Amino acid sequence: MSESIIRDPLEIERRSFRTIDAEVGPHPFDEQQWPVVRRVIHTTADFDFAGTTCFAPGVIDSAVAALRRGAKVLSDTNMVLAGVNKTRLAKLGGSIACHVADAEVAERAREQGVTRSILALRKGVVEGAKIFLIGNAPTALFELLRLADAGEVAPALVVGVPVGFVGAEESKEALFASRLPCIVCRGRKGGSAIAAAIFNQLLILAAGD
């Protein structure tokens, strides 16, 4: 059994990418977009993402420029944070935070009767985050749109891929209609792993490795 197992991670990735390329066939993505979509499929084994992933005009250039300036990144969950390549981000001078489990955020959410995700998002904006990775919380995405509309934040990148049956799809449609530099996966599907995969591919592009 074990003799046939491929153990080299890079070789596994190369073979996986070849399989994905072959099974997807012709697609509408350009040479910067396709590696992003391919990595999402690699992360999920779900080819639906080839049909649902959408890029706002200029979003990759905006994201890469911000990453090369050493951007502050905010994620909506600790799973997204755990999935991000923090070594590569730090080499570019960037950093990432997630405030949803902060004790003070939880306390104020109870007091104010709003979701912790909303207050965690506001805290990230106050701290100067320019890149937002939202894999789960539609309420965080709606709050970001509200703050952007009010001129309180000008994101360089919003990865908006909440998953679910209540509010997720609507939040992604609102984001894509907002003209912010964003990458979304339309429909119900998405999640932490997808948010991290998209961002990690942009990190590879920005780092040029």
Q: Which residues are catalytic?
A: 42
Residue 90 makes contact with its own copies by CB under 8 A: no
Residue 164 makes contact with its own copies by CB under 8 A: yes
Nearer to its own copies, 20 or 105 (CB): 20
Residue 8: strand, helix, or coil: coil
Beta-sheet strand order (sheet of 53-55): 53-55, 182-185, 157-160, 131-134, 72-75, 95-97
Structure-block tokens of residue 30: 């350009």
Can you name the residues that pair with 134 across neighbouring β-strands?
160
Region binding its own copies by CB under 8 A among candidate stretches 32-40, 55-63, 112-120, 125-133: 112-120
Binding its own copies (rule: CB under 8 A), the pick from 53, 62, 77, 178 is 77
Give CA 55 to chain center in angstroms: 12
CA distances from 97 to 25, 71, 89, 122 (A): 37, 11, 12, 12
Residue 180 makes contact with its own copies by CB under 8 A: no
Convert residues 119-158 into a mask of x (bound to its own copies by CB under 8 A) and - (unbound): -------------------xx--x---x------------
Binding its own copies (rule: CB under 8 A), the pick from 36, 133, 163, 203 is 163
Q: Could you write out the DSSP letters of every residue in 90-102?
A: HHTT-EEE--TT-
Residue 160 makes contact with its own copies by CB under 8 A: no
The contacts of residue 56 (CB under 8 Å, 6+ apart) are 176, 179, 180, 181, 182, 183
CA distances from 63 to 16, 36, 59, 106, 107 (A): 26, 13, 6, 30, 33
Residue 174 makes contact with its own copies by CB under 8 A: yes
At its nearest, how many Å lie between its own copies and the CB of residue 158?
16
Convert residues 30-49 into a mask of x (bound to its own copies by CB under 8 A) and - (unbound): ------------xxxxx---
Nearer to its own copies, 44 or 68 (CB): 44
Nearer to its own copies, 2 or 151 (CB): 2
What residues make contact with its own copies under the rule CB under 8 A? 1-2, 5-7, 9, 12, 15-16, 19-20, 42-46, 77-79, 81-83, 114-115, 118, 138-139, 142, 146, 163-168, 174, 187-193, 196
